[in-house]
């Protein structure tokens, strides 16, 4: 499945987004990522990421995760990325298929982006324990691969690593 806005390659990148241009394109995990958390059984997953733009000062994204063994869909996130002009302040606006909606904000330092939850909302019948905070780090590695690490806090668990995965560019 391709990102619906990926056909915008001929549209010029808004200058505000130049510091984030290393994210643009399609990425997929080359080896399964590892999912862990104190309250769940460890799991392995694969993931495809799509980062695109349509010339506006915003990046569109979609993340699709699959069980590494069964290939069944597991998790989806989509949303938008903005950068405050003239700064290194970045915001992710995210909707998750689990019923969680959040705004993560953080700082961009070169090819390293560190974000954490600023605002969080969930559907009224979301599964417990509830996520209270997510911290996410993206880093472009020297070999051209993209790495993502996600840590989180829930109602009953302190900050703990939840996900770690690397991707290769597929476009």
Q: What pLDDT is recorded for position 8?
A: 53
Classify residue 121: in a domain, yes or no: yes
* CA distance linking residue 37 with residue 156, whole number of Å: 11
3 part of a folded domain: no
| Plot region of 55 (φ>0 → left; ψ -120 to 50 → alpha; else → beta) | left
Provide the domain count of the chain.
1
Task: Decide if 83 contacts 97 (C-beta within 8 A).
Answer: no
2 inside domain:
no
pLDDT tens digit sequence for 19-74: 999 999 999 998 999 999 999 999 999 999 999 999 999 999 999 999 999 999 99
Does 32 fall in a domain? Answer: yes
Average pLDDT in the chain = 95
Residue recorded with tokens 């990522």: 33
> For position 150, which CATH number holds?
2.40.128.20
SS3 state at 28: strand
pLDDT number for residue 6? 47
88 part of a folded domain: yes
Closest among 38, 88, 81, 31 to 56, alpha carbons compared: 81
Give the up-direction half-sphere exposure of residue 54: CA atoms within 13 A in the CB hemisphere.
6
- Tell me whether residue 119 is in a domain: yes
- C-alpha 123 chain-centroid distance: 20
| DSSP 8-state assignment for residue 18 | G
Residue 1 lies in a domain: no
The boundaries of the domain holding residue 41 are 8-169
Cα(23)–Cα(5) distance, integer angstroms:
15
In a domain, 33, yes or no: yes
d(CA 159, CA 44): 20
Residue 1 pLDDT grade (very low, low, confident, very high; cuts 50, 70, 90):
very low
Instruction: Give Cα separations from 32 to 28, 37, 43, 88 (angstroms).
Output: 10, 17, 9, 31
């Amino acid at each position: 499945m391709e990102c619906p806005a990926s056909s915008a390659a001929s549209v010029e990148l808004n200058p505000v987004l130049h510091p984030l241009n290393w994210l643009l394109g399609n990425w997929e995990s080359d080896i399964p990522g590892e999912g862990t958390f104190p309250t769940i059984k460890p799991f392995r997953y694969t993931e495809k990421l799509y980062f695109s733009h349509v010339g506006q000062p915003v990046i569109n994204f979609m993340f699709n995760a699959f069980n590494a063994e069964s290939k069944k869909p597991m998790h989806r996130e989509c949303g938008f990325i903005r950068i405050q002009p003239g700064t290194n302040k970045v915001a992710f606006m995210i909707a998750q298929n689990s019923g969680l909606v959040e705004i993560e904000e953080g700082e961009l330092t070169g090819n390293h982006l560190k974000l954490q939850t600023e605002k969080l909302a969930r559907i009224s019948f979301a599964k417990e324990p509830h996520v209270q905070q997510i911290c996410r780090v993206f880093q472009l590695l020297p070999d051209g691969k993209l790495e993502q690490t996600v840590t989180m806090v829930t109602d009953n668990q302190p900050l703990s690593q939840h996900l770690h995965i690397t991707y290769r560019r597929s476009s």
